[in-house]
Structure 1
Amino acid sequence: MWYLTKNERGFTLVEVLASLVILSIVLMSFMAVFANTNRLAVSNSEKLVVINLADAYLERVKANPSEFISPFPPTKVNESKGKALNSFEMNNKKYKVTIKVTQTADEYNKFTLLNIVVTVNSESSKHKSSVEGYIPYE
């Protein structure tokens, strides 16, 4: 009867510990990949917010320039050097919007273009975006 117990095979303690170490190394590498992917997704999301805010503000300036440009139309003396609007908060993060206005004269059509540059800075991170557009006026 002793030959029945001899044939029972199992794992030794060393084999179990070695397999646990290998398994933990593999799982730790996956956790590092997931953490890095999450950090990158948050950063990309913040970049998209900044870009979309800059585009939205440029469209608001184009739709109603007198709200953002004072006096409208500006004279060469009153050209904006980068008028900073108040910081505002969205998604529990603060952003600062700067609108810069310069003029270019078109001699052929006899009207002037206002060059509008909208810059949005995220105060909580280093993300920044600028967009440029033109507003014609006579």
Structure 2
Amino acid sequence: MNKQERGFTLLEVAAALLIISFIFIGILSLMQSTKKLSSENIDQLVMTSFATGSLKRFLDNPTLYMSGIQEDQTCKKIKPINCHFEKMSFTEPIDISSYNQQNIDSNLYHLKANDEDYYLRFTLTQDEHEKRKELINVIAFVSKDSNFKKGRVKVEGYLSYAENTEAPKN
């Protein structure tokens, strides 16, 4: 056999297989981390969607999420519920779960999507500037953890209890 007709040696084949296996291991680990990142992004999108939708629902109808609110029948505001918020103090953040929740549908706070459980919490705050403008800062948190310790999304908005439905007063 002359030199040009020789094939690959066993050592060359083993080295090629080793190089190819390292490449495949790298590709597989990249695919696995991409899948994990994609799953985390989907969770973030679902939580953001839940938080945004729940915040909008809360701002439209706070009594949907809070029970035990007594509307003032002598109130002259367009939305009588606004009289209730006018009398409340929010110097410290208030967690809505501290309100009397006996008539509230638990599905409003425990959400499901893609066979996953998500949890909702609202916090209300108000500083002096917001009080002058008759606004309450409403923060909606959504998390996959019922204790809200990790992996949560936060969306904020303002609940206006102003006399009219136009822009808040200056």
- Normalised by the length of structure 2, the TM-score is 0.64
- The answer on whether the counterparts of 2:118 and 2:145 sit within 8 Å (CA) in structure 1 is yes
Q: Distance in 2 between matches of 1:9 and 1:45?
A: 55
Q: Give the corresponding residue for 1:101.
A: 124
Q: Distance in 2 between matches of 1:8 and 1:101?
A: 82
Task: Tell me which stretches of 4 or more aligned residues in structure 1 moved more than 4 Å.
Answer: 77-80
Q: Give the corresponding residue for 1:25.
A: 22
The aligned amino acid for 2:116 is: K
Q: Distance in 1 between matches of 2:44 and 2:60?
A: 25
Q: Kindly report which structure 2 residues correspond to 1:1-138, keeping only aligned pairs within 5 A, or say none.
A: 5-6=1-2, 8-70=5-67, 71=69, 72=81, 73-74=84-85, 75-76=87-88, 81-84=94-97, 86-103=109-126, 104-106=130-132, 112-123=134-145, 126-137=150-161, 138=163
User: 5+ residue gaps in structure 1?
Assistant: none
* Number of matched pairs: 130
Secondary structure, aligned partner of 2:150: coil
The 1:43/1:78 distance shift into structure 2, 3 A limit, reads closer
Mean CA deviation greater in 90-99 or 7-16? 7-16
Q: Distance in 1 between matches of 2:153 and 2:34?
A: 23
The 1:58/1:86 distance shift into structure 2, 3 A limit, reads closer
Q: Distance in 1 between matches of 2:32 and 2:89?
A: 52
- Normalised by the length of structure 1, the TM-score is 0.77
User: 5+ residue gaps in structure 2?
Assistant: 70-80, 98-107, 164-170
Percent of matched pairs sharing the same residue: 30
Larger Rg: 1
Secondary structure, aligned partner of 2:117: strand
The 1:76/1:30 distance shift into structure 2, 3 A limit, reads same
The 1:76/1:42 distance shift into structure 2, 3 A limit, reads same
The aligned amino acid for 1:19 is: A
